[in-house]
Amino acid sequence: MRAKMLQGPPTSIPIPRAASVEALASACAVAGAGDAEDAAADHTQRHRAIFLSDIHLGTRGCKAEYLLDFLRTHECDYLYLVGDIIDGWAMRRSLYWPQAHNDVVQKVLRKARKGTRVTFIPGNHDAFGRQFAGLDFGGIAIRLEAVHALLDGRRLWVVHGDFADGVIRHAKWLAHIGDTLYTFALWLNGHLNRIRARLGLEYWSLSQYLKYKVKNAVAFIDDFERVLARETRRHGYDGVVCGHIHHAEIRDIDGLLYCNDGDWVESLTALVETLDGELRILHWPNRPASTIPGPPARRAEPAVVAAPERADALA
């Protein structure tokens, strides 16, 4: 059943320019500062696992404030960062790192210090992290891939998924052109949503709407999903969790569970496994209280697939 919402391995490892590494280091250096907003966790929801990807810290399109609001009100035993957390491509063009992006890094590190098992799986935009695979930094395990066991014992392969993208593998220059056009669409989207915010309307993604209306984009998404499903079956897993295409979804593909956790530049979504073993996509379209007058609407819109009963998660 398809759950709809409104709204191997790399052949080379690029190494980031110094500016990107210095920006990341400066973000982590202040991680010891207290997180005052934790006191506002009255409505905290606890999950067994949370999967996030395609945050794109270091870009103007990143919705860091929305993500911070989500992280403050959702706790978990296992947190998977499924690639493109930091946008090394954008940071090579220009350095953009506001305080909200620092705050996201601090929040994740704070969760790790408080006992959450955090696993970071680099994607194509933060591929510089792949050279550190197998190491742990600040309580965060860096891996090329991971395996998560659902409560009922099914094993999910956790990968970013860029290896299933033919453009990334065979025409990277075209991917960079597409990234530039996508950035422009996000810029237009930002202006539109500033107007919507003044009208008291929730976030809406123009770029995502256009993507669903273009026949070739829909065909690309379907091809991507089927390639990942085929590789997941070949590796002997029961399902896959990925990111990369900015399209949150839970669906069955020929008896195999396919999950995409979406992104934090367009759809503002996370994939969670609840304490009861259900898989849900949570949509977080509401601006945090600091940017909209009145009390925050702490509402998540779930799409659900059941996965009950047993087993521990594997990092």
**What pLDDT score was predicted for residue 269?**
96
pLDDT tens digits for range 2-60? 444 434 444 343 444 444 444 444 444 444 444 445 444 467 999 999 999 999 999 99
Contact of 126 with 160, CB cutoff 8 Å: no
Distance (Å) of CA 62 to CA 68, 285, 314: 11, 13, 29
pLDDT of residue 42: 60
Q: Tokens 């990107």, residue?
A: 20
DSSP E strands, the chain: 45-52, 74-81, 117-120, 136-137, 140-142, 146-149, 155-158, 239-242, 249-253, 256-260, 269-273, 279-283, 301-305
- pLDDT, residue 232, reads 95
Has residue 206 got a pLDDT over 80? no
Rounded to 5°, the CA angle 155-161-167 comes to: 155
Q: Are 268 and 261 in contact (CB under 8 A)?
A: no
Q: What is the pLDDT of residues 248-290, one digit of tens each?
A: 999 999 999 999 999 999 889 999 999 999 999 999 976 554 3
The confidence score (pLDDT) of residue 209 equals 61
Q: What is the pLDDT of residues 130-172, one digit of tens each?
A: 999 999 999 999 999 999 999 999 999 999 999 887 544 444 4
